[in-house]
Amino acid sequence: IWTADIVSSNGDKSEYVIRNKPYDGDIHNGDSLNVDIVGRTPGSSTAPNCRVFIEGQDHGNPATSAPQTQAPSGGGGSQTQAPSGGSASPETVTPGASCGSAKSTKYNYGDALGLSILFFDAQRSGKMPASNPIPWRHDSAMNDHGDGGVDLTGGWYDAGDHVKFNLPMAFSAHVLAYGLNRWKDGYSSSNQLQNMYEMLRTPLDYFMKCWRPQSQEYYAQVGNGAADHAFWGRPEDMHMQRPAYKCTASNGGCSDVEGITVAALAAGSMAFKASDAAYSQRLLASAKSLYDFANAHKGIYNKGPISDATSYYGSTGYKDELCVAAMELYKATKDAKYLNDAKANFEGNDVAWALSWDDNHVMCELLLYEETKDNRYKGLVESFVRSYMPGGSVHQTPCGLAWRDQWGSLRYAANAAFVALAAAEDGIGGDQFKSWALSQINYILGDNRNHLSYEIGFGSNYPRQPHHRGSSCPNPPAGCGWNEFNNPGPSPQLLKGALVGGPGQNDEYADSRKDYTKNEVTCDYNAGFQSALAGLASMAKRGCLPNSPAPKC
């Protein structure tokens, strides 16, 4: 049972008394309470004819007795909805469908979306394109290479530093590609579709350089963490050695980083299928061969060949990444073997702690539910989102931010909002999930006690001192070093679109370059945030958004 607790049952287990979760203590008129129940019985019995009553009500009242039930495939379960003037069948939602005329919104999510794309453009490594929109960024790290001179230029710098860590880079690329595939109209209505395509090619091109199918090796990191962090300056001015770290068939498995790279490549292949079929096929071929390699040589990358990543992006498992990889390949190919692999890698007994570069469990569950409609996956997705809502297990700041952790507090809230929006369009949570997601994104954009947009460049009040090297440097020929790090003033370059780490658990925040907890910026901080913005822009265009909730501060 999900979203309710069993209070008691009779002797033959034919009747149960269940109580709603605390977060469902108040159900507004017209809203629904969805409780998923799975029962198993020996033999080939068909699903029972379930009857549901509200305690304390007249059991003969047609408004409260015997709601319609629907047994899911696999037998034994039912779905009900709390009636509103009569019993109701389960909600049916068609993702991407119009709900009416376009809706005005409190904040311009399209503008915030365009700014976020510019942040990823500022993170580019290697040769900058002719269309480079960041005037203070130029070619950098043009000597990045692997064994035998393998070209490893390109990709994104991870954060304010200049290491290329593929685990968070691939996580970011996957979440962004999923958001593009899901809410393409959010990009087109914001006049950002072409910019998004150009931005997304950067990591996808790089991943195809990292995977060497002929020699069966995958490069998962460029740059040494300690050597890189000893430097403060422009990426164009780096002179330290930048070693490349790779996974091979003989030096230990890297299924986590390889798996999420597969997911990014496969999702990318679907994103480009209509606009560049040849490129799409290259991406899919790379995804399929890398998936086979990751499955054949299983292991955690930083416990094997890439121990340097342990202090920065240490992984705790790989089955969730392999599940997401298999699901994206299934969506791209409709080959049932990938769906079976994903089910085999599903680990869902506990509600996911977060969606992050190291935790893709809820993404695995969301993708599985979208393709199978199995209530096992639905229940875990719903419980994940509700754990971040008021009444759930995640701490709420006085101003209403779901505050999971001090490191990238806004990242966790934005990622959960992204999941909530996708779930709502899959028929889970409805307007309640959309309203909560709005509250989190609106908090980021200004609905907080500081009246501050935590996305740099959005509005007129935003952080001016991100913990980011390149933006702290004046224009050449002026030098740049630790004096610029210690500069108490605003950064000379505006790092448009970057989402800073965020406030503390009581909404406290100070804009300081030296505070790499609250003012760090990273690619994975922006990824779920940007896809949530795409979802909101899409839903606003289709008239599918509820009104913005009132800010708590």
| Residue 55 known to be catalytic | no
Q: What is the pLDDT of residue 88?
A: 32
Number of Cβ within 10 Å of residue 303's Cβ equals 17
Catalytic option among 236, 374, 511, 515: 511
Q: What is the pLDDT of residue 51?
A: 78
- Quote the pLDDT of residue 550: 96
Phi, psi dihedrals of residue 17, rounded to the nearest 5°: -105, 125
How high is the pLDDT of residue 75?
Answer: 36
Q: What is the pLDDT along the chain (553 residues), one digit of tens a residue?
A: 877 888 888 877 778 889 887 767 777 666 677 777 777 666 665 656 677 878 766 554 433 333 344 333 333 333 433 333 333 333 445 667 888 888 899 999 999 999 999 999 999 999 999 999 999 999 999 999 999 999 999 999 999 999 999 999 999 999 999 999 999 999 999 999 999 999 999 999 999 999 999 999 999 999 999 999 999 999 999 999 999 999 999 998 999 999 999 999 999 999 999 999 999 999 999 999 999 999 999 999 999 999 999 999 999 999 999 999 999 999 999 999 999 999 999 998 799 999 999 999 999 999 999 999 999 999 999 999 999 999 999 999 999 999 999 999 999 999 999 999 999 999 999 999 999 999 999 999 999 999 999 999 999 999 999 999 999 999 999 999 999 999 999 999 999 999 999 999 999 999 999 999 999 999 999 999 999 999 999 999 999 999 999 999 9
Q: Which two tokens stand for residue 251?
A: 């030096």
The one catalytic residue in 121, 358, 520, 524 is 520
Alpha helices (H) in 144-221, listed in sequence order: 166-182, 184-189, 193-210
Count of residues in the chain: 553
Q: Check residue 57 and give its pLDDT.
A: 63
Angle at which helix 375-388 crosses helix 409-425, to 10 degrees, equals 140
Residue 479 confidence (pLDDT): 96
Q: Is 321 a catalytic residue?
A: no
Residue pair 91/430 in contact (Cβ under 8 Å)? The answer is yes
* Predicted local confidence at residue 193, as pLDDT: 98
Q: Which two tokens stand for residue 375?
A: 């209530």
Dihedral sign computed on CA atoms, order 399, 401, 402, 405: negative
Residue 226: per-residue pLDDT: 96
